[in-house]
Amino acid sequence: MEDLTHVDAAGAVRMVDVAAKPVSARVAVAEGVVACSPEALRALSEGRLPKGDGLAVARVAGILAAKRTAELIPLCHPLALEAVDVALAVEDVVRIRASVSLHARTGAEMEALTAVAVAGLTVIDMVKALDRGASLRDVRVAAKSGGASGGWESGSRVVALPPAGVVTVSDRRARSAAPAMANVADLGAGACAPGLACSQPVPPAGADGTARPIHAHGQARSAAPAVGDVSGPLVAAALTRAGAASVTTRVVPDDVAAIREVVSELVAAGCRIVITTGGTGLAPRDVTPEALAPLLKWTIPGLAEGLRAAGAAHTATAALSRSVAGVLEDEGARALVVALPGSVGGVTDAMAYLGPLWAHIVDQLGGGDHPADAPDVTGAAAAVPRDVADPRVLRAEVGPAPIDAAALEASVHRASAGAVVTFTGVVRDHDGGRDVASLTYEAHPDASAELRRLCQDVLSRHPQVSSVAAVHRTGALRVGDVAFAAAVACAHRREAFAACGDLVDAVKAGVPIWKRERFADGTDEWVGA
């Protein structure tokens, strides 16, 4: 029963203890649809149901359900939700979308799903006088962020971890000869069985997100960890669950040269995350920090301190760990190198702490920049993440490519959309009575992200909109060129017009784009700078 997280040693179900997990900002988005007759849809949309305003009642029911999920689903933890948003759109079906956000040690997917399910059942209750055959379908998690497993969207990871390496540093000797083959399923995927010299990539996780068990082959050697030294395998399993493309495990003795050699080899072989376990204490043979120091181009003191603090929350001796973190560069490629203690509790706390950080770490290693409003996702005071993608935003781009307004309009069209409203902004030949010869647009590097956020804000204010797209051009433009285009699809024209106008106003006021106008008289001026 060891592989079943919600079953104890006796086979009884249990609620998982999440006390060791760090608090992080979490968002979950769920979707579902209610299918009902055209007559019921019309009455629901127009507020003419015998029971009253079905959309308003269903929205409130969904919010209440999210807050009481732990009372309905036996193994869910009671959570202090910070925001719940439930939106219903009447198209050829009733589309329901719920977003739940909070800061906690466990996620809110079940709360979002419960909100959708109860909102959908409420719709059925409200329309049953007109349609006894109404049905709730396709309730699913659309997106999530936060937590050890990172961000997901439509069942796929938002950010995949690159190849990783795990180095177990140990001077213990195997207490008995190792067998030629050892099953390491109970240690986590890709783990090296105690007593084996192993260097094997970890296979990808199975369809259910759990790591597949493998068999490790090898010969015993003096550097192999003793039975019970499983910190390295635990890290390998955690990296696999977090979505690492592959995980290679190594075992080395407490020796400066050996540690440096294997870490350098892993980075040269393509590992962009290397985690060592063991050798960070105060004993004479604890030399891992000294071995890594010359390899690091720069250190990350805040990450090392955060790891120590995460461990100290559960055991005071974590303060004695000399954990280090830094970046190693190999022929222009960057790798994160982290030294963790060798205890099971230490690596468990550390991997839980690193989980919410992986997306930003991967982005930074790849040369990404800090977004201006990047949330702190590690503590209780962090802001709610704003980067959970809404699949209804089909395009939100700021760049130099010419704009095809017709293609943009076609991209948002759906069979369920009764109206598609587009706006096309073109360069005119005058401004304030002065003749314009040409102009140039420049944008902040985060302009596309801000445009997407504004699109999502508009969708939250206009829940009946089924899809939206917006593109703004940068660079030198001539009179008559398209500078901006937006397209909005909705079941009804009035809401489509309102949403499109709202989006255009929001973009003009909020996207960091500046315009340099050149006039026919040879003068020029910046607008919005």
399-426 mean pLDDT = 88
What's the CA gap between 41 and 419, in Å, rounded?
17
Decide if pLDDT at 17 tops 60: yes
Q: Which amino acid is at 105?
A: R
Decide if pLDDT at 401 tops 50: yes
- CB 154: neighbour CB atoms within 10 A? 12
- Over the stretch 301-340, which tens digit does the pLDDT of each residue have? 888 888 888 787 777 888 888 999 999 988 777 899 999 9
pLDDT the model gives residue 315: 79
Where residue 391 falls among pLDDT bands split at 50, 70, 90? confident
pLDDT of 256: 93
Which token pair is 81?
């939700």
Q: Examine the pLDDT at 484 and tell me if it is beyond 90.
A: yes
**What's the average model confidence in pLDDT over 111-129?**
94
pLDDT tens digits, residue range 186-195?
333 333 333 3
pLDDT over threshold 50, residue 123? yes
**pLDDT tier at 361, thresholds 50, 70, 90:** confident
pLDDT(204) > 80: no
Which residues participate in catalysis according to the annotation? 125
Q: Indicate whether 496 pLDDT > 70.
A: yes
Per-residue pLDDT reduced to its tens digit, 124-167: 999 999 999 999 999 998 887 766 555 565 555 545 678 999 99
> How much is the pLDDT for 274?
95
Of 157-166, 173-182, 340-349, the range with the lowest mean pLDDT is 173-182
Give the pLDDT score at 137: 92
Lowest mean pLDDT among 8-22, 166-180, 198-212: 198-212
Please state at what angle helix 344-354 crosses helix 301-312, rounded to 10 degrees: 120
Is a pLDDT exceeding 70 seen at residue 13? no
Per residue in 366-376, pLDDT (tens digit) is 765 544 444 44
HEC sequence for 61-76: HHHHHHHCHHHHCCCC
**pLDDT, average across residues 466-474:** 92
The phi and psi torsions of 114 (rounded to 5 degrees) equal -65, -40
For residue 337, which amino acid is it?
V
Instruction: Sort 346 into a burial class: Cβ within 10 Å, 0-12 / 13-18 / 19+.
Output: buried
Q: How many helices (H) and strands (E) does the chain have?
A: 13, 23
Going by C-beta distance under 8 Å and a sequence separation of 6 or more, which residues neighbour residue 205? 189, 211, 212, 240, 241, 243
Which residues, 6 or more positions from 43, have their beta carbon under 8 angstroms from its beta carbon? Answer: 49, 127, 130
Percent share of the chain, pLDDT over 90: 34
Select the more confidently predicted residue: 102 or 62: 62
Of the listed ranges 131-145, 314-328, 351-365, 412-426, the least confidently predicted one is 351-365
- Which two three-digit tokens encode residue 153? 């969207």
Write down the mean pLDDT value for the chain: 78
| pLDDT given at position 211 | 36
Q: Are 289 and 277 in contact (CB under 8 A)?
A: no
Strand 434-443, strand 513-519: pairing: antiparallel
Query: For residue 248, what pLDDT is reported?
Result: 92
**CA–CA distance, 489 with 492 (Å, rounded to integer):** 9
Q: Which amino acid is at 405?
A: A
Query: Per-residue pLDDT for 238 more than 90?
Result: no
- pLDDT higher than threshold 80 for residue 28: yes
pLDDT (0 to 100) of residue 311: 80
Average pLDDT over residues 25-44: 90
pLDDT at 386 over 80: no
Contact 215, 247 (CB under 8 A): no
Residue partners of 48: CB distance under 8 A and separation at least 6:
42
**Region of poorest pLDDT, from 216-230, 251-265, 279-293:** 216-230
- Which residue did the predictor score with more confidence, 422 or 462? 422
DSSP secondary structure string, 81-118? -SEEEEEEEESSSEEEEEEEEEEESS--HHHHHHHHHH
Q: Averaged over 495-524, what is the pLDDT?
A: 90
pLDDT for position 474: 92
Mean pLDDT in residue range 182-186:
31
The answer on pLDDT for 226 being more than 70 is no
- C-alpha span between 304 and 323 (Å, rounded): 6
Burial 402-411 (b: 16+ CB within 10 A, else e): ebebeebbeb
What local confidence, expressed as pLDDT, does residue 294 receive? 92
